[in-house]
Amino acid sequence: MSDAAQIYPLGLRVAGRLVVVVGGGPVAARRVRSLVDAGARVRVVAPHTVLGEQDLPVAAETLEFRTGPEGEPQPGTIEWVRREYRTGDLDGAWLAHTATGSASADRQVADDAERGRIFCVTAGDASVGSAWVPAVARTTLTDDAEVTVAVTAGRDPRRARAIRDAVAAELASGTLPLRRHRPRASRVEPVETHPLVEPVETTPLVEPVETLVSTSSTREAGSTRAGRVWLVGGGPGDTGLITARGRAVLAQADVVVVDRLGPRALLEELAPEVEVIDVGKTSGNHPVPQHEINALLVQHALAGRDVVRLKGGDPYVFGRGGEELAACQAAGVEAEVVPGVTSAVSVPAAVGIPVTHRGVARGFSVLTGHDGAAQVPGGPDHTLVLLMGVTNLAGSAAALITADRPADTPAAVVEDGYGPRQRVTVGALSTIAARAAAAGVKPPAIVVVGDVVRLSPAWPA
């Protein structure tokens, strides 16, 4: 039987239990810190230690210790027995660690532990011990559950750490399946009776499925846990441009309320039981009004579900994230804003247009195509970015022509940034509307006005 086949992986609850650490060097100190954090009663046996240098306070220092439970250190504290190890020092211990730097001393500890039926970790020669410490990473998820990853790799600690770090990175990125599978209790208060919420019916993007969380009519009595809401900026639409935090919370959602311009390809990675609700808007067509979207977020959260509001760009850049946050707070629902890469900057960059550039543009303004563009100060050296500006492009372009911003100021329309239809049309303020119409430009598109447009490869030489 191989060495790996002889290992039975398990977790040990050491809180309140005596653990003896033999040795006082840096390796022993690392083990002591982990044990203290886990609430163990830690007894260190060594003539010298670096505990003080490692900011590990010693609660008691002695040359001898009292045997029996009454002589043990308090949970989460350290007792230092300031002398060399002796047989009998493991009496009463549940676990032993030895890291003396001496092969013979470590073997003595391991042999004593074996006779006393105490599992022992040896830092020098792992083959001498009966237990091993894995490389560990802990990740706290959105529902406050903690995922612990422990890796052993054939007594190769560097390989184990590398694998641990890779798995931890995947956990943080949200690319691993992180959703809760056991039901979580929610509030007793029925959603329908909450004074700030009216039930909303919408058409899901996917076929309805039975949720894991009880509805208001079947909740468990005495339950107290409500869901939470994350207002996630999904970036300009490319799945690689959502933040790691955004992807991580999306992977744990029970309900996803999605916009038309969010990174919708990520929805294909969700578990089949996740409810996806499409509230996408187009120009002049708002099938789900904003007040109903607000109510949806609150309604599902109060039913005990974790909700991700997946938006394009950034929630706070013309994304009505502030309104949705206020609605959640007014209903007592915990909410977090997860910033995103705004399309006002990223979409121009996709076609080689920086919104600022030394010697060309010192600042920029972002507004919608519905706003009063003529009121924005500045000339060609101040970049203007118009979101949702295609429908009223002719009117906006005409209004932007001023004494400071002449008719020949460069302008560009970027369609479907980072999407399959990405295309850029360039011209001047006096011609951009006609050129866009001739090219058949369609939303979604962003308009950029200013000298920075000349930096795009699409600008004629």
Task: Examine the residue annotation and report whether 311 is marked as an active-site residue of this protein.
Answer: no
Task: Examine the residue annotation and report whether 259 is marked as an active-site residue of this protein.
Answer: yes
State CA 7 to chain mean position distance.
33
Q: Which residues pair with 415 in a beta bridge?
A: 423, 445
Contacts of 392 (CB under 8 A, 6+ apart): 369, 370
Instruction: Label residue 234 left, alpha or beta by phi (over 0 means left) and psi (-120 to 50 means alpha).
Output: alpha
Residues 305 and 213: beta-carbon distance below 8 Å = yes
Between the alpha carbon of residue 293 and those of residues 267, 284, 289, 320, 321, the distances in Å are 19, 17, 6, 11, 11
Marked catalytic residue, from 112, 259, 278, 371: 259
Strand, coil or helix: 97 = strand
CA angle in degrees (0–180, nearest 5) for 107-114-74: 95
Q: Which residue has the tokens 């991580």?
A: 248
Cβ density class 178-201: b for 16+ within 10 Å, e for less: bbeeeebbbbeeebeebeebeebe
How far apart, in whole angstroms, are the C-alpha atoms of residue 397 and residue 413?
11
Marked catalytic residue, from 143, 165, 238, 281: 281
Contacts of 353 (CB under 8 A, 6+ apart): 412, 414, 448, 452, 453, 455, 456
Between the alpha carbon of residue 271 and those of residues 169, 250, 268, 336, 350, the distances in Å are 21, 11, 8, 22, 31
Query: Hey, which residues are catalytic here?
Result: 259, 281
